[in-house]
Structure 1
Amino acid sequence: MSDVAQRAGVSHQTVSRVLNGHPSVRPETRDRVNEAIAELGYRRNSAARALVTRRSDTLGVVTPASALHGPTSTLVGFEEAARVAGWYVSVATVRQVDAETMRKTAEHFLDQGVDGIVVIAPTNEIAQAVAGLDSPVPIVMISSTPDVPPGRHVHAVGVDQRQGARLATRHLLDLGGPVLHVAGPQDWFDAQDRLAGWHDECVAAGIDLIEPVVTGWGADDGYAIGRRLLDSGDLPASIFAANDQLALGLEHAFWEAGVRVGHDVALVGFDDEAGSSHYAPPLTTVRQDFAELGRLATSVMQAALDGGPSERHVLPPELVVRASSARA
């Protein structure tokens, strides 16, 4: 830094301000310092800085070994937001989730000197494992769990899954008739909340409930449910699928049988995953803003490091209406 200051003709403190993005540096001075940094090939020594600040600018992220849209998009959204905020991210992917695995993973991160730990926790077992951790650094759970584990070190952020389900159900109810819910696996918080939101909106509307169908998350599961509904001869007028992959499988089954989605049956999914606007027909769905979720988790982690209280923060979802529910 002294070499950079000498080359740029500024003080050591000015170089420090430029490196830390301080707003008080004049643009021409900042440009001169950045040119000196480029000419000298300067790189900040993170290890030395950590000794002074007692911060490593590194966060550990625990994520389930899943290729599903929600956990994967959550990880990408958080990593991007953390990098913009100046943090390095170290990721641990876990296949077996229990208290001992979570403890060992946390110890692995603590040995690296991380400032905090982020856990992507879509299921009951992951949240329970987090609740058993005794961590000296803050933990931020990205999860729709309704409960934050006790203790000041655990915080939670998520998308309001229940509200998203209510938006989807209300949209279908406005088209007329009862709504069948094809629900995801009930050990997932998202699936629990989407089922509860569907139920609450139907009850609020005074509509008779159709027994929900609980299945997995995949398109194959949706296809199997679609075939079963067709074979029963009792196809509902409206279906709310717990995610877009289930809706894709349902569309396939109905297409094979000559049932027109958007005309004979109205269909809504959840997630607005890439490609859902190109389903046949394009899918009405509930959008989750994973980039904003990542930014929220990053700001909550910073607040936690500054001593903020344990809290739960929730983002609103958005209904995206397309042709699959155009029957009107």
Structure 2
Amino acid sequence: MTAERTARQRDGGGASRADTRPLAGARRVSMADVAERAGVSAQTVSRVSNGYEGVIPETRDAVLRAMAELGYRPNSAARALKRGEFRTIGVIVFTLATTGNMRTLEAIAASAAEAGYAITLIPGSPTQSGIRNAFTRMDELAVDAVIVVMEMHLLDSSTVALPPNVKVVVVDSDAGDRYPVVDTDQADGTRQAVEHLLGLGHDTVWHISGPEDSFSAERRTRAWRETLERAGRRVPPVAPGDWTAESGYRAGLLLADDPDCTAVFCANDQMALGLYRALAERGRRVPDDVSIVGFDDIPEAASFSPPLTTVHQDFAEMGRRSVARVLAQLGSSTTDIGTTLVPTHLVPRASTAPPPR
């Protein structure tokens, strides 16, 4: 029998006040170790660990002190199995290269943490098999629900069948009528941008689009065209881009050579930055010769030269609403199908002005 154990016995089963050494060896500290150190039952340690009321303050303090002294960490997996929940939300994302996805993911993580949940991130390939594989991984990692952040239309396809027992919320895509969706009001944001330029006196508005397989890009292009048609204006050919500044630059070189082009709506702010460069190289000034509106309102937009007029997306609200919808599903036996649209608004800055006369 060790001197430490003898000392504890002389002290009536509790720990010596001077004895703050952790248990020797590499094994994980158990609840029984904490109970012995604190001089209480394992059941009391369990109640303190799980935050139950009814433990007198002195006993709770003794248990917490013993946990700290021994370096005890509660077995969260065992507690999750006992409660039937893991307090974890899975997030499937197919690219981290875009500003929108990164800021949406950041907002989801912050909102989940506020609700007492962690997130587990699973990157996946933007294919039907990639979606199925990502959900298989999520099932293995034991999450309570899943938020899918994607721009493609893959969830529209009848060939993609997500697990029926998994609570799912889709962000920034179209899920038909099968899953709850949270999205930015792409159409209204685009309408504001185009009407702003027409209101300044421009005859029409050119458009640098996002990639063809992007749901957001498709919605913005469609709204741009419909807004021009409602106003009875000519619809110029679309200049295709891929969200990058480089693609905005390439499209901009073509637009810069067209003297009729006096106003451009870019599907995101990075492509607007590339357009700035192309126009500068061709000797066309912003906004004196060409007015530009972007979409996203990235933090750097206000520091463009001149500061960029753009459509603001509230990514923090996107995160809050997507987490709120997935948590609402966890507390219900039914699924609330439908789309939640987060409002957008135009932020006028110095990159837009009446056309040259």
Same fold (TM over 0.5): yes
Q: Name the SS of the counterpart of 2:136 in structure 1.
A: helix
Query: 2-side partners of 1:33 and 1:196: how far apart?
Result: 65
Is the counterpart of residue 167 in structure 1 residue 197 in structure 2?
no
Superposed displacement of residue 287, structure 1:
1.2
Query: 2-side partners of 1:278 and 1:35: how far apart?
Result: 51
Q: Quick one: which amino acid aligns to residue 215 of structure 1?
A: G
Q: Name the SS of the counterpart of 1:263 in structure 2.
A: coil
Query: 2-side partners of 1:35 and 1:289: how far apart?
Result: 41
Q: Which residue of 2 aligns with 1:148?
A: 176
Q: Which residue of 2 aligns with 1:124?
A: 153
Please, which of 59, 72, 90 is the counterpart of residue 60 of structure 1? 90
When residues 216 and 18 of structure 1 are mapped into structure 2, their CA distance, relative to the original with a 3 A threshold, is: same
Is the counterpart of residue 223 in structure 1 residue 253 in structure 2?
no
Q: Name the SS of the counterpart of 2:180 in structure 1.
A: strand
Q: Is the 8 A contact 2:125 2:131 kept in 1?
A: no
Is the counterpart of residue 256 in structure 1 residue 315 in structure 2?
no
Q: Which residue of 2 aligns with 1:45?
A: 75
Q: Which residue of 1 aligns with 2:344?
A: 317
When residues 125 and 148 of structure 1 are mapped into structure 2, their CA distance, relative to the original with a 3 A threshold, is: closer
Query: 1-side partners of 2:310 and 2:256: how far apart?
Result: 23
When residues 96 and 292 of structure 1 are mapped into structure 2, their CA distance, relative to the original with a 3 A threshold, is: closer
TM-score of the aligned structures, taking structure 1 as reference length: 0.83
More displaced stretch, 215-224 vs 33-42: 33-42
- Structure 1 segment 1-328 matched on structure 2, within 5 A: 43-98=73-128, 100-125=129-154, 128=157, 131-145=160-174, 147-150=175-178, 154-177=179-202, 178-231=204-257, 233-307=258-332, 308-327=335-354
Percent of aligned pairs sharing the same letter: 34
When residues 234 and 116 of structure 1 are mapped into structure 2, their CA distance, relative to the original with a 3 A threshold, is: same
When residues 78 and 38 of structure 1 are mapped into structure 2, their CA distance, relative to the original with a 3 A threshold, is: same
Q: Which residue of 1 aligns with 2:27?
A: none
Query: 2-side partners of 1:122 and 1:130: how far apart?
Result: 18
Q: Which residue of 2 aligns with 1:25?
A: none
Q: Name the SS of the counterpart of 2:296 in structure 1.
A: coil
When residues 96 and 180 of structure 1 are mapped into structure 2, their CA distance, relative to the original with a 3 A threshold, is: closer
Superposed displacement of residue 223, structure 1:
1.1
Superposed displacement of residue 255, structure 1:
1.2
RMSD: 3.1
Superposed displacement of residue 42, structure 1:
6.1
1:82-134 CA distance string (max 9 Å, x none) = 12211121111123522x33222212211222111111121123654894213
Superposed displacement of residue 268, structure 1:
0.2
Q: Is the 8 A contact 1:102 1:130 kept in 2?
A: no
Superposed displacement of residue 271, structure 1:
0.8
Query: 2-side partners of 1:90 and 1:33: how far apart?
Result: 34
Superposed displacement of residue 183, structure 1:
1.4
1:164-212 CA distance string (max 9 Å, x none) = 1011111111101211111112211111111121122222222232232
Q: Quick one: which amino acid aligns to residue 87 of structure 2?
A: D
Q: Is the 8 A contact 1:144 1:160 kept in 2?
A: no
Q: Is the 8 A contact 2:201 2:354 kept in 1?
A: no
1:32-84 CA distance string (max 9 Å, x none) = 89986878866443223212220011121111134111122221211221122
When residues 76 and 127 of structure 1 are mapped into structure 2, their CA distance, relative to the original with a 3 A threshold, is: farther
Query: 1-side partners of 2:63 and 2:225: how far apart?
Result: 58
Query: 2-side partners of 1:104 and 1:176: how far apart?
Result: 51
When residues 280 and 106 of structure 1 are mapped into structure 2, their CA distance, relative to the original with a 3 A threshold, is: same
When residues 274 and 129 of structure 1 are mapped into structure 2, their CA distance, relative to the original with a 3 A threshold, is: farther
1:204-252 CA distance string (max 9 Å, x none) = 2222322322232211111112211233x43412110111111111111
Unaligned runs of at least 5 residues, structure 1? 23-27
